[in-house]
Chains A and B, each alone.
Chain A
Amino acid sequence: MALEHDVYVIGVGMHRISAAPTPVRDMAFDAGINAMNDAGIEFDTVGALYNGYASGGMTVGVTLAKDFGLTGVPVAHVENASATGSSAFREAVLSVAGGHSRCAMALGFDPSPGAMMSGGGGALSAGMLSAFFKPSVEGTLLPAAFFALWAVRRMHEAGTTVETYAKIAAKNWNHARLNPYAQRQADHQITAEEVLNSTMIAYPHTSMMAAAVGGGAACAIVADRELAEQVRDRMGHPLVKVVSSRSESERYTPGHLFMGAVVGPSELTRSTSQAAYEESGLGPADLDLVHVHDAFPVEELLYYELLGICGEGEGDKLVAEGATEIGGRIPFSTDGGLIGRGHPVGPTGLAQIWDTTVQVRGQAGSRQVEGARTGMAHMMGAGSVCIIHILQRQ
């Protein structure tokens, strides 16, 4: 089902992702103001606000909205694990697409683990943390293991090497060096050898292959055509249309896993992307850049194939050719991805929207993908929800 009304991204904003214990209130305000400044609008233009945060706490989003102003705007809290920010963005898109508002804001924020444990993030209480860590049968399986199981199986089935995983991670570290909002800011070009020599987490994954965990905030504002054209004329940004917004949860597949820290079939990405291609009338060959849920490099490798960028078993060849680097045929994770830019959860999907928007506008500076017009942002939530957006410059 296509979006009923055309929807455009008119403003995006970020607060740098980092391990610093910055209060979420400050980070969220910063990202929101940056997005409104980018669009050249004030908060009274926003007709709906969707806050995405995963670290708990009732009415945190409403409290933060008061910092922008008291306008009577409807405010809601969205949570979908890693896909929280993507879900908030989709709700904003649907609000405009359905004619419920002319302009909607999606704001994602979460504290760094340090701020969360010290109570500075307004997040998990000590009691909630205690419950989270209570011994349970399902609690004995840790998230890092699930991705490693994927990686080992892939090595068995397709002959993928640990060097291929290391090359993907190194690429994303190096993309992050070009992103001032990225958590990981290496002072030199990272090599695959360095990645392989870092601390082992879960075979075959090392610490430099893992998503960086920090806090941060990101914001995107969408609007209808009339308002988007006003912003274009006033701010000089080209129109960026949301040509697809799709979300799916699991369908049963043989060998379906119901238990574990992170579950869900990888086929979910294939079916959601097919729906996104159908909705947009585009195909993989039309994409100029792609963002994915690269918590570990095996994910990015598999998504090359599941998104139809290459054939089954051909992802390793893309890595060997450098095709997914900036400057390559189809750059992935151009802002560093979860591995380099970081994965603060609430803001992550919106950070993808931020980078995709500035890329297709031609405003990405040193990490600009030449001639970029169309970009995809893909996120998974707890392995069980897949959300894909495609943005295109008009």
Chain B
Amino acid sequence: MAERQPLEEGYFVMPDAAHQHPRLIGSYSPKADECFFPRRKRCPITFGPVEDRLLSSEGVLYSWTWLVTLKYGAMTTGGKPHGVGQVDLPEGVRVQSRLLGSQGDWEIGMPMVLDLLPISTDEAGTELCTFAFRIKEAGADGPRT
């Protein structure tokens, strides 16, 4: 498998020996006791400082759609129909992202897990990835893509 790197730094960390799935980098506000994603420069509620926090890789599907006709931004998506969803993480954060799977796969309330989605390849052949959620299947914990 080709080497993989984040398409952009600062949104998520890659899987490693201790973690099978990528993890999103959020912000935690100690004063508000709230987490946010993507990272904030300061707490939007208290205006106080925030600290980086790696968020859970699993959550629950809040909503989904299957995007068929692509217009603005089609060049960044490969121009193919795909799923998009919103996933609620246990930290109280709702994340909007691409979904891995096919139309008809999803139901609101399903358990979801974070995975990688290759978007492009750089000159060295490294796959540049964003993050995406897929359905968490019982007994199948590892990343699939």
Contact = CB atoms under 8 A, between A and B. Distances in A.
A136 interface: yes
Contact of A258 (B36, B119, B130): B36
A255 B60 CA distance: 12
Contact of B94 (A134, A156, A203, A255): A255
A149 B94 contact: no
Interface residues of A, number: 36
Contacts of A200: 68-69
A153 interface: yes
Contacts, number: 113
B8 A202 contact: no
A257 interface: yes
A133 B64 contact: no
B120 A149 contact: no
A201 interface: yes
Nearest to B73: A142
Interface residues of B, number: 44
Contacts of B98: 140-141
Given A142-B72, A201-B68, A256-B94, A153 B36 contact: no
Interface stretch (B13-21, B50-58, B82-90, B134-142): B82-90
A199 B8 contact: no
Nearest to B97: A141
A148 B69 contact: no
26 contacts: A135-B128, A137-B11, A139-B73, A140-B73, A140-B77, A141-B96, A141-B97, A142-B70, A142-B71, A142-B84, A148-B67, A149-B64, A149-B85, A149-B86, A151-B65, A153-B63, A153-B86, A156-B63, A199-B68, A201-B69, A252-B44, A255-B92, A255-B94, A257-B94, A258-B38, A261-B73
Interface of B: 6-8, 11, 36-38, 40, 44-45, 62-77, 84-86, 88, 92, 94-98, 103, 108, 117, 119-120, 128, 130-131
